[in-house]
Structure formats: C-alpha cells, structure tokens
Structure 1
C-alpha cells in the first residue's frame, strides 16, 4: 500500500460491506416471473451484479429470453427494470447482511476520525434505506450511487467526486471493493486500492485484478 494510514476510505457497498445478493435475487426473480420467465436463482445473480441495476436486469432478461443482450429492445429493458425496482424496494432489507469484520473496521475508522464514503453502482434511491437498515448509515460522510454522477464505476468520476466532497486528495485515500470495477476505477483515480476476497467479482478471483492488497475480512485493515 502506498499510504500507511489513509486520510479517508471509500467503500463499495454490495459484495464489500453487505451481502445483498439474496434480496437482489428475490427482486430479479419476481420481476422475471411477472414477465412469465424462469427465475434465475441466487447463484446466477451473484455473478451478474456489480455494474448497476440496469445491466443486472439486461443480463437476467437476456438469460430468461435466451437472447443476446444486444437483441433486447429498450422497451423490454425499461419494463423489466421498472419491475425489478418495484420488487427490490420491497425486499431491500429482508435477507441482506453485513459481512464479518465490517462493523469492527468502520467503528475503528470512526474512532480514528477517518472520514468515510460509500461509492456504489447501486441506484442511489436504494442506498440510504439499506445503510440505515443495516445500522451503518451514521459512519459515512458522503454516499454516492451509480446515478449520482454521470459515469459509474469503472470510470473514476464517483471516486474523485467523493474525494472532493471529503476534502482529501485521491492519493491519500483508500478504495475498498470486491470487483474489477472498483480496482479499475481506483487505478484511474491514482488511488491505493484494497480488494476483498469474499465479494461478487463475476466469479473471478479478485487477486487476478491486482489490487494493492487483498483481505479476507475488513478487520485485517485495523492497524
């Protein structure tokens, strides 16, 4: 790591702080069922998440229709996304849970007066309620969703906006995430990056994306 102690820490949400796939899968399967399509199931959804709600829906819809993602019409995608969002609002905090070590690390950073931000590709409409339901909303000074900026991860814009709002330089922050999107965004922002081994990363070992460090639990970052 290039920074011994960060001046701020930015966190991805799904697959990094919270295992949210159980609820996401429930919502996507409910949307697919309304469209008279087979349910995808949690294992498939676990490999589909990470690029925001719309791309998740595109992947699920293409699978259900046995079509390529390119062949789907905007109207089909819009309808499926609308259904997904409706169902996800219902299932948001039903089965989602914090990963081991998350509360301990957030509490330690808070005690050290290190500011924190959430930078997630999840639509911002769902983020505050999810954080609140998990009891960790009070830790974060900045919360950005995939539609809070023009370009979601792997573009670095979200990370740079978070740094600007926290009043710190990117090189003095850490990005903590579970996917190649987080690693790529951090690299583009010239920010040290930690990968967690337990996340979603489309079924790929996060170490293959070469973060500065890989941890099995966030409490390994307590100094």
Structure 2
C-alpha cells in the first residue's frame, strides 16, 4: 500500500464511491471477450478491420492487454463508438453506441468479481459507510451487475454515463453521490482503477482518491493522481478498520 493521506483524512471518510470495471470486476477476465465482440460489431463483417479497431480503442489484438486510460479502459459507449468510427468502422456513431450499450448490458452475465462483493459491501455497511457505484458504463448494466452479485440493496447511489450526472472525469457523479447521501465531497473516497476516476475525485474535491490494481492501471500510471494505491478493494477493510458512529 502506498499512502499520501493522513489519519485525520481517513477518519473523516463516510462514503465510498466505486468505479465498476477493473475495480469491482476484474478487467481482463470480464472485458477482454467483450472488447473483441465490440470490435467485431463495429467492423460490420470486415474481419481484417477488427484488429485495427481493437488497437485504436486500446486493446492489443494479440496479447489481449488493454492500455491504461484508453477508450476501452475509461470511455463510455458513446466515446468508444466515436473512436471506432474514427478508426474505420462503417457504422454511424449513434447506431454503434446503441449496439455497444446493448452488448455491455449482456456482458454483465459473464463478469468476474474481484472478491465476494456481497460480503465486502456488508462489512463496509456495518461500519457505517454509504456506498455508491459510478461507472462509464450505462446505468442498466451497472444495476444488472449489482443484482447479479447480490449488492443492489446495499448500494445507496448508482450513476452511469447516461444517468444525468455528466461523464468522467467531470465531478458530477461524485456530487450526485453527495446529494443522494447527504455527505460532503471531503467525506467521500473515490475508488477506481484508472486516472479518469482519480481526476474525477480531484475535480469534485473528494477527500480520498484510492487506486486499485485489478484493472488497466498500474502503480506507475496511477501514483501521481491517487492518494493511496491498493492491490484490490479488499484492502479497504484494513484501510478503514473501525466501525463508524452512525
């Protein structure tokens, strides 16, 4: 664990806002096949175009590795569609955005969680924390994921790129979480796997920016913008060991 946060800051945190992909879900295991399918859809039958589209959106077509802070790693469906069209997809951006959103909802069925999310969230709720999920995915996909892993009833706030709070790295999702929970931004820990999450935290004035290494980012890419870097979200239980007064 690398930390740049004081004990006073840690003790002030009362809400945790999680990114989804690469944070609650293992990125490569959950999204590698989905990204390949996204490129196949965007290529519209041109198999030779698929590797070009994968690379343009941030995924090495051979190794399957996705670059940190690339379109696939951090973009929403509309942004990914724009990038794929710019890279040669013959589809219209609006049509491709809709197809990608539909794909991403279906993909929740194959998602792989980082840990037992229900157990982790129950432990955090028992310590008094408000919990939210803020993703560049669409809201329906986030809700389907929360239902699948048994955490929907423990989540106080959900925001996707289409929920009306703006998109990452703008501050709106964090501010929406605060409005929904009655917290101040300084009481919120933003937890994510890429710099869009860390920059959103900074833009909103979040009290703590926690990076995790279960997505596309690395200690090298995340260290400058985060306050703490954890191997994965289970480290939050050690970071916040005390039950809060509620």
Of residues 56, 71, 92 in structure 1, which corresponds to 2:80?
56
Instruction: Spell out the pairing of 1:163-202 with structure 2 (5 A cutoff).
Output: 163-191=178-206, 192-201=208-217
Which TM-score applies when normalising by structure 2?
0.75
Q: Secondary structure of 1:88's partner?
A: helix
- 1:147 Cα offset (Å): 1.3
Of residues 16, 19, 24 in structure 1, which corresponds to 2:34?
24
- Point out where structure 1 has 5 or more consecutive residues left out of the alignment: 66-71
- 1:196 Cα offset (Å): 0.6
Instruction: Spell out the pairing of 1:71-90 with structure 2 (5 A cutoff).
Output: 76-90=92-106
The answer to whether the 8 Å contact 2:14/2:128 transfers is: no
For the residues of structure 1 that align with 2:219 and 2:75, how far apart are their CA atoms?
A: 15
RMSD: 2.6
For the residues of structure 1 that align with 2:165 and 2:158, how far apart are their CA atoms?
A: 15
Aligned residues: 213
Of residues 78, 87, 105 in structure 1, which corresponds to 2:120?
105
Of residues 148, 151, 159 in structure 2, which corresponds to 1:133?
148
For the residues of structure 2 that align with 1:99 and 1:219, how far apart are their CA atoms?
A: 9
Which TM-score applies when normalising by structure 1?
0.82
Cα distance change of structure 1 residues 221 and 45 upon mapping to structure 2, 3 Å threshold: closer
2:50 alignment partner in structure 1: 38
Q: Secondary structure of 1:98's partner?
A: coil
1:15 alignment partner in structure 2: 22
- 1:163 Cα offset (Å): 0.8
Q: Secondary structure of 1:168's partner?
A: coil
Q: Secondary structure of 2:32's partner?
A: helix
For the residues of structure 1 that align with 2:212 and 2:98, how far apart are their CA atoms?
A: 31
- 1:103 Cα offset (Å): 4.6
- 1:206 Cα offset (Å): 4.0
The answer to whether the 8 Å contact 2:159/2:165 transfers is: no
- 1:179 Cα offset (Å): 1.0
- Point out where structure 2 has 5 or more consecutive residues left out of the alignment: 55-60, 242-246
